Amino acid sequence: MASEITYAEVKFNNASPAAVVKVPPEMKKHEHHSQKYPSWLPWLISLLLLLVCIALIIFLLVASFSHSSDQPTALQQKFMEWWCVSAVPQGKGQGWTCCPKGWKQFQEMCYYLADDEMSCAESVQNCTGMGSHLVVINSEAEQVFLTNELRQYPLARNYYIGLNAQVVGQWQWVDQTPYNEAAAFWRSGEPSNVAAEKCAAIHTSSVTRNWNDVRCEEHYRICEAAAVTV
């Protein structure tokens, strides 16, 4: 008699199905809504850093300018706006030579060519009040520079310079620079050396020798001060 094969279905009560991890609703929410920064935020940070750098550079320039120990303090105190040019050849270091806005610069000096007339005494006070003095001409190069600058103005104008003669024929510069007759630039036949003409002026003309002694009445003027170096 053939043997009978019996099949049986067996269930194991201790077998556990695959573990199911339940995620809290809060975590699911964060997964779907991850935090994102605005696209413009990096640009804003870069702009703020640039502004900080610019402010630092301006602060350093102002600090250097205000602490220039060998410069005319009075001139710095009188003017807020300045015009600066490089004081050294390009690539050979840093440095700026500055004059008040509206003044002319030549070498290491600043010049103010007035557009109104005053007496000689008033002209002296006006220049002094700006931290300067009536111009003292020390070289032919300086004389040529001033002559060229004055050519833009009408002829027959007199501009006071810092030269006067309280005693007839004894000319003196306002800053006590020794007067040198050989280095003077008088017009032909000048100075006339008369008691009535104790002041000296540059006469606008096309020639370099254009000094003239004049009455100390109302004329234009040229003020001079050392440039500020930063």
| Average pLDDT of the segment spanning 109-117 | 96
CATH of the domain at 179: 3.10.100.10
| Average pLDDT of the segment spanning 31-53 | 75
Flag whether 116 is in a domain: yes
pLDDT of residue 16: 47
C-alpha atoms less than 13 angstroms from C-alpha of 191 in its C-beta half-sphere: 24
pLDDT at 109 over 90: yes
Flag whether 36 is in a domain: no
Flag whether 11 is in a domain: no
Q: How many domains does the chain have?
A: 1
pLDDT of residue 198: 96
Contact 225, 120 (CB under 8 A): no
pLDDT of residue 18: 47
pLDDT: is 47 or 224 the higher one?
A: 224
> Which range has highest mean pLDDT (75-84, 93-102, 215-224)?
215-224
Count of CB atoms situated within 10 Å of the CB of 50: 10
Flag whether 49 is in a domain: no
With b for 16 or more beta-carbon neighbours within 10 A and e for fewer, the 154-170 pattern comes to eeeebbbbbbbbeeeee
pLDDT at 9 over 60: no
Write out pLDDT tens, residues 144-202.
999 999 999 988 899 999 999 999 999 999 999 999 999 999 999 999 999 999 999 99
pLDDT of residue 169: 93
Flag whether 45 is in a domain: no
200 - beta bridge partners?
213
Flag whether 97 is in a domain: yes
Q: Looking at the chain, how many residues does it have?
A: 230
pLDDT: is 225 or 40 the higher one?
A: 225
Structural domain of residue 180, as residue ranges? 56-229
User: Of 178, 116, 107, 177, which Cα lies nearest the Cα of 143?
Assistant: 107
pLDDT of residue 144: 96
Helices (H) and strands (E) in the chain, counts: 5, 11
Would you call the peptide bond into 191 cis, given omega within 30 degrees of 0 as the criterion? Answer: yes
pLDDT: is 19 or 206 the higher one?
A: 206
Flag whether 64 is in a domain: yes
Flag whether 151 is in a domain: yes
Instruction: Quickly list H helices, 67-155.
Output: 73-78, 120-129, 140-150
What is the pLDDT confidence band of residue 63, given thresholds at 50, 70 and 90? low
| Average pLDDT of the segment spanning 205-218 | 94
Instruction: Quickly list H helices, 33-151.
Output: 41-66, 73-78, 120-129, 140-150
User: Between vectors from CA 133 to CA 153 and to CA 120, what angle results, nearest 5°?
Assistant: 65
pLDDT at 60 over 70: no
Residue 226 main-chain phi, psi, to 5 deg: -70, 140
